[in-house]
Structure 1
Amino acid sequence: MPAARFNPLVKTLAAPPIPEVQAWKREYVGSHGPLIDLSQAVPGYPPHSDMLGWLGEAASSVSMAGYGDIEGEPELRAAYAEWVSEIYTTDINPANIHITSGCNQAFMAAMTAIAGPGDTVLLTNPCYFNHETTLEMSGVKVGYVDCHAQDGFLPRPEAVEAMIRDGVRALAIVTPNNPTGATYPAGLLQVLFELCRKHGIWLVLDETYRDFLPLDAGAPHGLLSNPGWQDNLIGLYSFSKSFCIPGHRVGAVTAGSAVVAQIAKVMDNLQICAPRPPQAALAKAIPALGDWRCANTLEISARASALIEVMGGVQGWDVAALGAYFAFVRHPFTDLSAFEAAQRLARESGVITIPGSFFGNGLERYLRVAFANADVATICQLGKRFTSCSGD
């Protein structure tokens, strides 16, 4: 009797990366002190006490136990639309917002709405690995726009345009970037938007880490002020980092109402509606916790500065790019792969990072360091840890 089979598009995917590197914890014997986990991007401080109170209140509410609107709770859609309008000094309506269960689901739902088997979506190299695997398991082809260290790991517009051909449905980018931390200047984003408009494809913009840009930086871009932006732009966002609630899984899509209607069809089959209690809590938290969020942005900036200072004193290790939650660090081991270098750093020095090779090709000399996980005092310990694991 033949054995039942798996979907080959799923079976051929690599195992989830985070559990793989987390397993290295067991190999560290503690010779340099407590293990420092800089792998998964998680807030290194707790949610606001009011947020916890609102979550508990909503979770114990009978009204929150039933199904909600597919597109999201009206109160959260309105609050988030107002917040986006403030950030980008434009007018965004609740009809432009769809709430999802995390930003990964926002990406999956958006891609399912705009691309099908045999179509192509362009990603950057390096890219966020969950974007890549989402497309692969959906039968969507992936084209890669190479980004180089000498360009700050930002794509060149001419390289993007060279990749646009028949069957390409979208260009998907992350800014501030995961894994490199590179922040796309507003001018570059405008050029990429115009390229996508010229060729009739979507620009899908994941801004999960936008709240950790410098407070005096102004609007991240002006794309939402372009007339007719709804025809070519889809924005993605996660509440996980800014509100310290990754376990509650809430994300958002900002798009034209026609896109929202298509995503609603996908969501009705994926999950029906995103978790309701955290949506209710976030509707209160968005207007109430602005000062707290700003203080956290300053804290993450202090952690970034501490990492730059520490790594500046470590011979052989170089910070190639940095921003928001991440640094892309070049390791000194010419004879080791990125996987081997990351495993050695974990085993010998008790620092967990992610190999650059998990994010694309040609990245064997890099490790992703999620420095936002650790406070300044912990980051200051990294100098000795990296030095102890040298290439000499």
Structure 2
Amino acid sequence: MPELAAHVRDVPVNQIREITEAAWRTPGALVLSIGEPGFPLPRHVLDAGMACLDRDETNYTPNAGIPGLREAFAARFREQQGVDVGADRVYVVAGAQQGLHLAMSLLLSPGDEILIPNPGYPTFAMTARLLNAEPVGYPLYPGHGFQPRTEDIEALITDRTRVLVLNSPSNPLGAVLGRDLTRELMELARRHDLWVISDECYEAFTYDVPHISPARFDGGTRGEARVFTSLTLSKTYGLTGLRIGALVCPPELKQQMDNVMESIVSCVAAPPQYAALAALTGPQDYVQHASRHYRENRDAASAVLDAKGIPYLQAQGAFYLWADLSHASGGDVRGWVRRFLADAGVALAPGTAFGSIGEGWVRIALCGQKQDLLEGLSRLPARTGLE
């Protein structure tokens, strides 16, 4: 058999999927390793998708998506972030992951470098490698609240650096970038003429702090604009399996966007687009209920970790807790979560899934039932003494 391309062989295993699929094969396991919202979808969202099938609207849609959905995404972004975005800058994509791939395909040539957070979502690096680009992790240290520092990022910039990836609210950390830091990071990108990909999958879920999109500090013209904003309805409305999101692009890129979209996926299926349109324009009870549930689960989980003496980062957004299990993991958290699943029947995402700085840490998903969450955390080994 001929060999696969080198850049495919170099793509690492996604350790989140590794432990989660092991848990799915383990009878009775409590799965706290994956961000899967657990609420039934609103009836009006399901009805809109099924009505599309009933009227046999199953043909191609425009590359960029149906006009009503593009406008709905743009309207929500304008309302929440105060950014003057027209529907012509919105591309409907098959989930945020396809949007990230689309953006990187536009911006990265072989050998280019892309700056990604460490710890950060695994597919930032995986997607870059599939494009023959080089992911370079910028550090998010515990001592600085896992917030990026502009001087750390600037020290990593070379003549091959093309893109800076920002993620707020953060997966896996639950950290949120403040207004001043977001502005500083955008100024850094302008100084070095970098594109910015802003992953805002969890923008609907922040707790006592606002979500500030980098697009607020972007230039308004083609010569100045540099931000690609990645949005999804997977988390906001629980539409994980429908694979629907949006990429908000700098102006005047229509032809390039159409070409790349055509080559990757052509267009998104019509039924998920109409379901998404109903979600964005209909009642918002689901989002409000989910936000309350995630906050309550965060507070309940924090109390368990406090009682066990386990350090963690207080989540300001998303629906994860980032907890320090170094007292138990012995320098190999990937191996420890496997043993913990086998011995305790609980799946947690190892911190090393998100980068080298994640060694000793775990990501705990807060989006499931509170009873399962608290039962799973009750089985964690307490931190005692000087550990």
TM-score scaled by length of structure 1: 0.91
1:292 and 2:267 matched: no
1:183 and 2:181 matched: no
Residue aligning to 1:142: 135
Give CA deviations for 1:280-326 in whole Å, capped at 9, x if unaligned: 121122121223312211111111111111111114x2213533121
Give CA deviations for 1:202-235 in whole Å, capped at 9, x if unaligned: 1111000010113x64452463364427621111
CA separation of 1:146/1:219 partners in 2, compared to 1, >3 Å: closer, same or farther? closer
Give matches, 1:198-209, under 5 Å. Answer: 198-209=191-202
Residue aligning to 1:165: 158
> What displacement does 1:37 show?
0.4
Residue aligning to 2:220: 228
Residue aligning to 2:302: 308
Equivalent of residue 25 in structure 1, options 23, 26, 32? 23
Q: Which amino acid aligns with 1:192?
A: L
Q: Which amino acid aligns with 1:384?
A: S
SS across alignment from 2:228: strand
Q: Which amino acid aligns with 2:197?
A: V
Rounded to whole Å, the distance in 1 between the matches of 2:14 and 2:258 is 27
1:352 and 2:350 matched: no
Equivalent of residue 337 in structure 2, options 329, 333, 342? 342
1:268 and 2:266 matched: no
CA separation of 1:290/1:23 partners in 2, compared to 1, >3 Å: closer, same or farther? closer
CA separation of 1:90/1:138 partners in 2, compared to 1, >3 Å: closer, same or farther? closer
Rounded to whole Å, the distance in 1 between the matches of 2:163 and 2:217 is 20
- Are the equivalent residues in 1 in contact too, given 2:169–2:211 (CA < 8 A)? no
1:325 and 2:319 matched: yes
- Are the equivalent residues in 2 in contact too, given 1:249–1:275 (CA < 8 A)? no
Rounded to whole Å, the distance in 1 between the matches of 2:252 and 2:66 is 19
CA separation of 1:67/1:221 partners in 2, compared to 1, >3 Å: closer, same or farther? closer
Rounded to whole Å, the distance in 2 between the matches of 1:170 and 1:14 is 21
Rounded to whole Å, the distance in 1 between the matches of 2:383 and 2:160 is 46
Among all aligned residue pairs of Structure 1 and Structure 2, give the percentage whose two residues are the same amino acid.
24
> What displacement does 1:27 show?
8.0
SS across alignment from 2:308: coil
Residue aligning to 1:62: 56
Equivalent of residue 380 in structure 2, options 366, 376, 386? 386
Rounded to whole Å, the distance in 2 between the matches of 1:222 and 1:24 is 37
SS across alignment from 1:236: strand
- Are the equivalent residues in 2 in contact too, given 1:325–1:371 (CA < 8 A)? yes
Q: Which amino acid aligns with 1:224?
A: R
> What displacement does 1:266 show?
1.1
> What displacement does 1:263 show?
2.6
What is the alpha-carbon root mean square deviation over aligned residues? 2.2
1:11 and 2:15 matched: no
Residue aligning to 2:83: 90
Q: Which amino acid aligns with 1:110?
A: A
- Are the equivalent residues in 1 in contact too, given 2:68–2:277 (CA < 8 A)? yes
Residue aligning to 2:72: 79
1:283 and 2:277 matched: yes
- Are the equivalent residues in 2 in contact too, given 1:339–1:357 (CA < 8 A)? yes
Aligned residues, how many? 382
- Are the equivalent residues in 2 in contact too, given 1:112–1:266 (CA < 8 A)? yes
> What displacement does 1:14 show?
2.6
SS across alignment from 1:346: helix
> What displacement does 1:35 show?
2.1
Q: Which amino acid aligns with 2:150?
A: P
- Deviating above 6 A after TM superposition, structure 1's stretches of 4 or more consecutive aligned residues are 388-392
> What displacement does 1:348 show?
1.5
SS across alignment from 1:62: coil
Rounded to whole Å, the distance in 2 between the matches of 1:18 and 1:221 is 27
Q: Which amino acid aligns with 1:269?
A: S
- Are the equivalent residues in 2 in contact too, given 1:123–1:142 (CA < 8 A)? yes
Equivalent of residue 132 in structure 1, options 107, 112, 125? 125
Give CA deviations for 1:123-182 in whole Å, capped at 9, x if unaligned: 111121111011012100111111101111111011111222212111002111111111
Rounded to whole Å, the distance in 2 between the matches of 1:328 and 1:68 is 40
Q: Which amino acid aligns with 1:386?
A: L
Rounded to whole Å, the distance in 2 between the matches of 1:121 and 1:113 is 13
Rounded to whole Å, the distance in 2 between the matches of 1:222 and 1:170 is 14
Give CA deviations for 1:344-367 in whole Å, capped at 9, x if unaligned: 221121111111112111322111
CA separation of 1:79/1:345 partners in 2, compared to 1, >3 Å: closer, same or farther? same
TM-score scaled by length of structure 2: 0.92
Residue aligning to 1:255: 249
Q: Which amino acid aligns with 2:32?
A: L
Rounded to whole Å, the distance in 1 between the matches of 2:314 and 2:162 is 29
Rounded to whole Å, the distance in 1 between the matches of 2:259 and 2:128 is 18
Residue aligning to 1:105: 98
- Structure 2, unaligned runs of 5 or more: none
1:361 and 2:375 matched: no
SS across alignment from 1:108: helix
